[in-house]
Amino acid sequence: MNEKTKSFLFKGWILLSTLIVLAIVFYIFGYILSNGIESINMEFLLDGPSGIPVGSQGGIFPAIVGSLLLMLISCVFASILAISTSIYLVFYCESERIKGLIHLITQCMSGVPSIILGLFGYTFLVLYLNLGRSVLAGGLTLGFMIYPFIQVRVEKTLLEVDKSIINSSYALGISRTYTLFKLILPICKSDIVSAITLAGGFAMGAASPIILTAAVTFAPIPSSLSSPVMALPFHLYILTGEGISLEKAYGTALVLILLLLIINIISTIINITRKEHK
């Protein structure tokens, strides 16, 4: 078999694999869309759940707000930890052993099943710190889940900054702190925001970490960080697991997918804008 034939077969395999993946994705989205579109109306989007059992009637507005709040808290918490860790590793840490240890911890955290993180959040945040089942406890638990995702990407972004820019700044007598906050972070801003946005979508779609830490079957829009909260993934789990309403479950799944799609589109736009300004 000559090289031309091998190249043709390889390209064909890549194309076939891509088409299969796209077909699966479009089939899943089309299936959920066709089954859930009938449930989508203003009442479903703007009202709370009602009926007996709860969720068989009404809407999912508290769950939408709850999911957005959980995503916001998790992104703020995780991004502070991740950006701080990345800055320390890239610009301040001189010990290879400490760097290796932090990288090992991050890798281990990324491999922990989400249900285990949920148990950790329940034991440490809900019980030990006495936060109770609340939007704060759930958001922090989700923050631990998405921390490795953000940290790895932020560190990679910081390492890709042109070293000549940094060295020129130091040569002019500019302090490391000023260089970092006024020069390096503005350069990396779009990549960092994109990573946080994608991580937020990951957090919004997770159910396991919030089952024991934040989510309840029914709750109004939380009035404080110590209030329990409804969330779309958990609401979907209840609707299907308890057999309450398959029609409402498809509608909830469709709304969740559309929200995640919007988040991914925002991240893509940020990346495109960054490339155009380079």
| pLDDT computed for residue 277 by the predictor | 59
d(CA 58, CA 272): 39
Contact 133, 213 (CB under 8 A): yes
| pLDDT computed for residue 118 by the predictor | 94
All structural domains of the chain: 42-277 (1.10.3720.10)
| pLDDT computed for residue 97 by the predictor | 92
| pLDDT computed for residue 122 by the predictor | 95
Residue 52 falls in which region: left (phi positive, over 0), alpha (psi -120 to 50) or beta: beta
If you compute the radius of gyration of the chain from its CA atoms, what whole number of angstroms results? 22
| pLDDT computed for residue 166 by the predictor | 83
| pLDDT computed for residue 65 by the predictor | 94
d(CA 231, CA 237): 10
Q: Apex CA 141: angle with CA 265 and CA 186, to 5°? A: 45
One-character DSSP codes across 136-189: HHHHHHHHHHHHHHHHHHHHHHHHTS-HHHHHHHHHTT--HHHHIIIIIHHHHH
| pLDDT computed for residue 278 by the predictor | 56
| pLDDT computed for residue 275 by the predictor | 61
| pLDDT computed for residue 257 by the predictor | 93
| pLDDT computed for residue 274 by the predictor | 64
Nearest to 183 by CA among 167, 200, 195: 167
- Point out the residues of the chain with pLDDT beneath 70: 1, 274-278
